[in-house]
């Protein structure tokens, strides 16, 4: 594997039933850290994030994600969470160039993180400028046809696995994505290509 570390990542964001024109702010920033040399999960990072444009979560959002008003109200802001995450990387002596993010589809980084950086008026950190899209890797590895890309539950079920925990909880989504990643690594899939 060309990387030593993988950060499996699945953000949750503010939302409402009809998202048209809604500014999605990140409210949960969870990472499951995989050591690619031992093919194992070695740590987790998780922080809730305080939204500033729409500080009050909708009931719909709390029902979808399980995230409560209390959890976001006292949470650090997005730039503060990035600093905490960078300390987490330092603690593990992770070189940014030897680490890659893995997400389920392009949305987490291409849309949620990029937009959040605009809302927070900060530069996109270099370590978030590219990522590995698990759905693409999965499709390529198993030779499934384009357009037959399976979602998280679809990939689990194709592997004979079931979702563990609560769907749309960022940390549980990340843990389940990590289970698929480990299974693919076990079967010889090389996680090399990243996409900006
Ligand atoms: P997920 O990783 O599937 O839990 O989704 C990430 C984020 O996308 C959620 O935190 C919501 O902000 C938004 N989202 C996902 N599913 C829905 C939905 N059915 N309706 C509205 N927003 C959604
Ligand atoms: Mg999720």
Catalytic hit among 12, 24, 25, 28: 12
Could you tell me if the CB of 10 is within 6 A of ligand 1? yes
Residues of the chain with pLDDT under 50: none
CATH architecture of 5-187: 2-Layer Sandwich (3.30)
Maximum pairwise Cα distance, the chain? 46
Q: How far is the CA of 56 from the centre of ligand 2 (A)?
A: 19
**pTM of the shown model:** 0.96
pLDDT of residue 193: 75
Residues 6+ apart with CB under 8 A from 124: 113, 114, 117
pLDDT of residue 194: 80
Residues 6+ apart with CB under 8 A from 139: 145, 146, 148, 149, 150
pLDDT of residue 192: 85
Could you tell me if the CB of 12 is within 6 A of ligand 1? yes
Q: How far is the CA of 125 from the centre of ligand 2 (A)?
A: 21
């Amino acid at each position: 594997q060309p990387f030593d570390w993988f950060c499996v990542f699945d953000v949750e964001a503010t939302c409402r039933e009809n998202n048209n024109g809604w500014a999605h702010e990140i409210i949960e920033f969870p990472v499951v850290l995989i050591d690619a040399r031992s093919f194992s999960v070695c740590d987790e990072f998780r922080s809730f994030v305080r939204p500033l444009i729409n500080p009050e979560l909708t009931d719909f959002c709390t029902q979808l994600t399980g995230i409560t008003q209390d959890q976001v109200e006292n949470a650090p802001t997005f730039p503060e969470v990035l600093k905490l995450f960078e300390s987490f990387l330092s603690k593990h002596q992770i070189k940014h160039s030897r680490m890659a993010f893995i997400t389920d589809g392009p949305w987490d980084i291409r849309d949620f993180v990029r937009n959040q950086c605009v809302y927070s008026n900060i530069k996109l950190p270099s370590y978030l400028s590219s990522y590995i899209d698990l759905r693409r890797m999965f499709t390529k590895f198993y030779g499934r046809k384009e357009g037959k890309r399976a979602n998280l539950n679809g990939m689990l079920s194709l592997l004979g696995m079931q979702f563990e925990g609560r769907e749309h909880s960022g940390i549980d989504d990340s843990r389940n994505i990590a289970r698929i990643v480990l299974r693919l690594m076990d079967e010889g899939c090389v996680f090399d290509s990243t996409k900006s």
